[in-house]
Structure 1
């Protein structure tokens, strides 16, 4: 007689159950020389800001949010102003390695320094940007980004498809 574990592994083999990354599972039926993907679902084993290659391929990048002008306007309004007790774009850029001379240069340009900072870090994920928000206690900016990731990003139809390089 087979144990429950044996039956489950046999079932996985029969349906062609594949684990491709510890975050995403693909249930596939193998047959007729092709693979049909049935379902993709999140595995709870990945952390929220997982940096494994599969998770990074599916995570929205700053480049993705640069296409949303309304979101950019809100972020600029929140991060452009200089205030002695509130962390802004300067702190974020410095944390991500921007040299002091470049920070000063961006302040002198007519374009938003926040936008410049985002453009120069467009390959990073929105999750990484939200980490900076948490680090600098900018819950207001994090909330805006979280809403965009949860509501706008999936609507764009990109959240479920890997990015091609």
Structure 2
């Protein structure tokens, strides 16, 4: 028998993926579970299809794909936060009446990745549109602490500060 190089190949569809197993026993938490890896790969393909639907402005179809992709992933996988953020973008495209749902999706994304600036900015834009200015300002300030040169956060912060001044000083 040959020496185990710690690599495995997985074939899925027309793609072949090489996996590296961590050192240690098969029961090690760092060891790659082939089934989990397969589900992650499947999730990526479903997400890609959702992204195509989003680009073609089929937001409901995109959301269905993102939901399917989420179900294929481990609960705290980083892609869950990206998919939830994508779902928030879909809700935002559907109009201001759907902004509370977009905020909910951002909240779910931030449960997995609390410093995910895209989700924070989407939520801030929703709060701004819903005139929940203090919450919007809080989110953009969080982003600016993490990324001081984030142009979008600075832009939103400026608009929100102006709106707050108008609200409290122009009565």
| TM-score category, normalised to shorter length | under 0.3
The structure with more strand, counted as a fraction of residues: 1
TM-score scaled by structure 2? Answer: 0.22
TM-score scaled by structure 1? Answer: 0.23
The structure with more helix, counted as a fraction of residues: 2
